[in-house]
Amino acid sequence: MKRVIVLTGAGISAESGLKTFRDSDGLWEGYNIEDVATPEAWERNPELVQNFYNQRRKSVLEAVPNAAHYALAKLQDKYDVTIITQNIDDLHERAGSANVVHLHGIITRSQSSVKASLTYPIDGWEIKMGEKCELGSQLRAHVVWFGEAVPMIETAARLCSKADLFILIGTSLAVYPAAGLINYVPREVTKYIVDPNIPTASNKHIIEMPYKATIGVPMLVNDLLV
Ligand code: APR
């Protein structure tokens, strides 16, 4: 089976009602990254940060996968598919994708605030102040903040280097190290980009599909399955 590596960003979940970060009306239009998505923010005001991610979790639990998530799951019929996602939602899994690598964590789990590798399932939508990990520290959302290490990046780079086909969907490629992953894909490998606003990527054999995910991804998957 040919190995397909898919790298997704916020754009694939936009039509499920989850805001992207950098589009106009994106999440970072209403918030300062420094206030909610850094270790310093957590030190300064843990309640605010906890509440911000509790709200994100609530939105994710209320959202459902869209045609793009389902099309990628269908691609597994004929290909060995691994999805590397920057998204903290679980919509790929809910649509039926079996191999999903979460580069930036997953909002449906909590994490120790002193040891990032300690993560736990969450009962309901909220992490409450006072809920602690096994080491006695406050639980926080299992997400990678700006300034924190990205533990899955080496796994992701290795996967990209082994791709027979590469698909990039709904990401502005503004945030490193994730944005650099496309450089690990061998130059001769065909790379599709599905995004109404095609990001700049310096690699060869790029096929641009300037469509929204729910249009472009099913179209591409149909082509790949014939
Ligand atoms: N279908 C496909 N792509 C879309 C759609 C859509 N319906 N709507 C918007 N997009 C595209 C935009 O054109 C843009 O290229 O999705 C991309 C969203 O970019 P960002 O908001 O920058 O999101 P992303 O690239 O996932 O951000 C990366 O930054 O804030 C951090 O940790 C956060 O994982 C996130 C990372």
Q: Phi-psi category of 205—alpha, beta or left, where left has phi over 0 and alpha has psi -120 to 50?
A: left
Q: How confident is the model at residue 105 (pLDDT cuts 50, 70, 90)?
A: very high
Structural domain including 86 reads: 3-225
The active-site residue, picked from 69, 92, 102, 104, is 104
Among the ranges given (28-32, 53-57, 174-178), the one the predictor scored with the smallest mean pLDDT: 28-32
Q: Which residue has the tokens 């691994």?
A: 82
Q: Is 28 annotated as a binding residue?
A: yes
pTM: predicted TM-score of the whole model, two decimal places: 0.97
Q: Is 54 annotated as a binding residue?
A: no
Give the total number of structural domains in the chain.
Answer: 1
- pLDDT tens digit sequence for 39-82: 999 999 999 999 999 999 999 999 999 999 999 999 999 999 99
Q: Is 199 in the pocket of ligand 1 (CB under 6 A)?
A: yes
Q: In the prediction, which pLDDT does 29 show? A: 86
Query: In angstroms, what is the span from residue 24 Cα to ligand 1's centroid?
Result: 11
CATH of the domain at 139: 3.40.50.1220
Has 104 been annotated as catalytic? Answer: yes
| Residue 177 pLDDT exceeds 90 | yes
Q: How far apart are CA 196 and CA 11, in angstroms?
A: 9
Q: How far apart are CA 50 and CA 73, in angstroms?
A: 32
Q: Is 23 annotated as a binding residue?
A: yes
Query: In angstroms, what is the span from residue 104 Cα to ligand 1's centroid?
Result: 13
Q: In the prediction, which pLDDT does 204 show? A: 87
